[in-house]
Structure 1
């Protein structure tokens, strides 16, 4: 059983509809419905009358709203007590996107390791949605991620503070020894005839997928069209596929810095780039004094 399922159910009770509750939980309605169904399957009872409109709880669902809310509060209260009692033994926990764990964190660690002390830092690398979930649920002390208020606005809260610790640029690249276009790459700029590019893309629901769709595709020259060769949410996988000549892709510049220097990859001319901030987030209320000290160090030393 996932504790998020109880939070989902209580959000449904509060919002009164699957659509509004899904929006509040920052998931799609189909995914939200599956999570409610998973809770019902685990409990072995129906909580929602799916034949009623608007949304209505079953008798069992209504009876157990308060007990479930109390149980959730007790679980979080117990976790807080356990964290407090063992805080001196715990590592600082950081959640971050896969790409940042590879392209940014190792270099950043060398700059901040003197402020970490013992026993150091534990890094959880995942997709941005899961990282945000862990952070908001109090399961990580810090969140390191790319900044885009239009894609994940749930971090704009009064109980969350942040600082900019770096920047990044998403650039369109291709393997120099590969043919990814229906015409020579040098002919793309100013082309009058349609140009077809093979694309290794990010899923539309992923952070980079939404970013490319919103900030890059609208600025692509009208003669350029894309043929999707393959897609994955992992930037390292996309980088490997681009190097194999499967297609072009938009990738973080820091992730492919060495490949660009060695001439293995080259930036595509006349295609848009987009700039990103790299942000670090924390809750105003922290579980240990070490987190406050570490944050103070970052403010003083950048």
Structure 2
């Protein structure tokens, strides 16, 4: 039973004749009469009493009016719901942020997508390797990750396309009471696992620049910057955290930066996607973000030319 057939029958009930029903259905009377015969032929039953003038529904069909109206309403609702779901799926978009950027950057990305008319956005978080795997497996449309100034794209070749969104600084911080711990040779530190990106940045760029004679002692280890932030706030040690993440804590005095005696490291914030043909919607979103998303630049990191 097709929805338009139910609506045709209800139009006859409401109009009282085929002529008035045809007007309600925006059809000529001859076209509507042909529709009526198609309905009867398809169902295999006589629905209209042609012995009466004007032609009207058979009494048994009239008795089904409550069921017909309920079915019509539910099918119209279902059709609208399915169309809305289809439209949302067509506009659905997902992205992943490196853990350290999820708190500071993803709200700005979602806000920019909302301003661009995006109806549904899925936000994921992971370490850099996980972000790349989400991209390669096409679970997300793009990723937002840190990179070191001058580094090439995340993998060799032309597999990825990148846009620089801003800069950040990885800086050593501690509570005011823990500030004095940076002046001694024994450095109590909350560290990153060596396999995660910021752990690699520390090993490659910061550790070789520590003051001569400094001994690092790992008090705790975590890959999650938010967890590391809470650990630093307890005063148990020093940690290197993105300046964008700790700015409010430095403003209210709960943390102090100690890059006057310990090294810091500039970071680039990049938006990354696969270098391949994109849907029209995905391309519009990418261009909109590349043009409109302006992340707050911190530190003295030089612009990236990539």
Q: What is the TM-score with the length of structure 2 in the denominator?
A: 0.62
Q: Is the 8 A contact 1:239 1:251 kept in 2?
A: yes
C-alpha displacement of 1:180? 6.5
Q: Does 1:249 align with 2:239?
A: yes
Q: Is the 8 A contact 1:160 1:282 kept in 2?
A: yes
Paired position in structure 2 for 1:283: 274
> RMSD of the alignment, in Å?
2.5
Asked if the contact 1:179–1:245 (Cα under 8 Å) also holds between the matched residues in 2, the reply is no
In structure 2, list runs of 5 or more residues that go unmatched.
Answer: 1-85, 294-306
Q: Residue by residue, what CA displacement relative to the aligned partner does 1:205-262 show, whole Å, maximum 9, x if unpaired?
A: 1111110111111111103221110111000111100000110000000101110001
User: Any conservation in 2 of the 1:220–1:271 contact (CA below 8 Å)?
Assistant: yes
Structure 1 residues without counterparts, runs of 5 or longer:
1-84, 189-193
Maintained 8 Å contact 2:179/2:256? no
Secondary structure of 2:230 counterpart: helix
Partners of 2:205 and 2:101 in 1: how far apart? 20
What is the deviation of 1:114?
A: 1.1
2:117 is the counterpart of 1:126 = no
User: Are the equivalent residues in 1 in contact too, given 2:132–2:143 (CA < 8 A)?
Assistant: yes
Matched with 1:272 is: 263
Query: 2:138, 2:287 → 1: CA distance?
Result: 20
What SS class does the counterpart of residue 177 from structure 1 fall into? Answer: helix
Q: 1:244, 1:205 → 2: CA distance?
A: 25
Larger radius of gyration: 2
Q: CA deviation at 1:286?
A: 4.6
Could you tell me the TM-score, scaled by structure 1's length? 0.62
Name the stretch that deviates more: 261-270 or 90-99. 90-99
Q: Name the structure 2 match of 1:155.
A: 155
- Number of residue pairs aligned between Structure 1 and Structure 2: 207
Q: More deviation in 278-287 or 120-129?
A: 278-287
Is contact 1:180-1:198 (8 Å) kept?
no
Deviation of the 1:156 alpha carbon: 3.9
SS where residue 104 of structure 1 aligns? Answer: helix
Q: Is the 8 A contact 2:112 2:292 kept in 1?
A: no
Q: What is the distance in 2 between the residues matched to 1:250 and 1:265?
A: 12
Deviation (angstroms), 1:163? 0.3
Residues 151 and 239 of structure 1, relative CA distance in 2, 3 Å threshold = farther
Q: 1:154 to 1:167 in 2, by over 3 A?
A: closer
Contact 1:87 1:287 survives alignment (8 Å) = no
Give the drift of 1:287.
5.1
Partner of 2:139: 139
